[in-house]
Structure 1
Amino acid sequence: MLKRVIGALVGREMDRRDGSGGMKGAALGWAAGSVLRRMGPFGTALGAAYVGKKLYERRKASKRRPL
């Protein structure tokens, strides 16, 4: 179940690049989840690291903005 959640988060992050949303993000999330599941524990760690990196970058960028 954790791998599916990570796959969904990876798909969401990949879809945010183009900003259109919708079916493309769901398809990318499903594909990323499938690939990560096939890779076993390494794939789970890789997907979690990708999502963590994106969250860290977003938080860092939001702190830089002046009020």
Structure 2
Amino acid sequence: MIGKILGAVAGSSISKHVNGVGGARGALLGVGAAALLRRLGPVGLVTAIAGGYALKKYREKREAPNFTGA
């Protein structure tokens, strides 16, 4: 029960940073993500963390200014 509530709160706050996802939809995604991670266990948690980190680095690289020597 507490995991679902924490997942909903996290999903709702994350949805504020993602375009096209509202608060209620983000809360539902958070609950679903919490349930999925619980089913996958420790391996799923490590995989999710590694995937999130890789996505963050990819986005930072795409958004970085492209300086060329002139």
Could you say which residue in structure 2 is the equivalent of 1:42?
43
Report the alpha carbon displacement of residue 21 of structure 1 after superposing the two structures with TM.
2.8
Unpaired runs of at least 5, structure 1: none
**Structure 1 counterpart of 2:30, one-letter code:** G
Matches within 5 A, 1:24-63: 24-63=25-64
Alpha-carbon distance in 2 for matches of 1:39, 1:52: 18
Q: TM-score scaled by structure 1? A: 0.60
Identity %, equivalent residues: 32
Superposed CA RMSD:
3.0
Question: TM-score, with normalisation over the residues of structure 2?
Answer: 0.58
* Count of aligned pairs between the two proteins: 58
Q: Which protein has the larger Cα radius of gyration, Structure 1 or Structure 2?
A: 2
In structure 2, stretches of 5+ residues that fail to align are: 1-5
Structure 2 distance, partners of 1:27, 1:53, is 24
CA distance in structure 1 between the aligned counterparts of 2:56 and 2:63, rounded to whole angstroms: 11
